[in-house]
Amino acid sequence: MNQGCEHIDNMRDKIDPPNIQECEKCKSEGINWIALRMCLTCGHIGCCDSSTGLHARRHFEESKHPVMIEVPNKSWRWCYEHKQYG
Ligand SMILES: [Zn+2]
Ligand SMILES: [Zn+2]
Ligand SMILES: [Zn+2]
């Protein structure tokens, strides 16, 4: 399944989602988000690609942290670099 992406397997569940789950940047900009994603490298919470702010993607672009996970259910992961689910 994860051929070509070593990131997702390397980062499986190393970080637990924080208790407060909101996109801080959306909050400070006064916009709404649709769903949240958590960076598996540092625990940053940002909004998904369907949200106006795209803050999870912006976090990847700024930090190069490749893998995020759907929160709060942790049902799937996404590698921005390889553009694949895991
Ligand atoms: Zn990858
Ligand atoms: Zn946001
Ligand atoms: Zn990060």
| CA separation for the pair 52, 26 (Å, rounded) | 9
CA of 3 to the centre of ligand 3 (A): 23
CA of 30 to the centre of ligand 1 (A): 32
Cα of 59 to ligand 3 centre, how many Å?
6
Q: Residue 20 — pLDDT band, cuts 50, 70, 90?
A: confident
Given a cut of 70, whether residue 1 has pLDDT beyond it is no
- Residues 48 and 53: their CA atoms lie apart, in Å, by 8
Give pLDDT tens digits for 41-55: 999 999 999 999 999
Q: Domains in the chain, ordered, with CATH?
A: 7-85 (3.30.40.10)
Q: What is the mean pLDDT of the segment spanning 66-82? A: 93
Maximum mean pLDDT: which of 5-9, 12-16, 44-48, 71-75: 44-48
Question: Residue 77 pairs with which residues in a beta bridge?
Answer: 69
Q: Is the pLDDT of residue 23 over 60?
A: yes
Residue 2: nearest ligand to its CA? 1
Q: Which ligand has the minimum distance to the alpha carbon of residue 39?
A: 3
Distance 53 CA to ligand 2 centre (A): 4
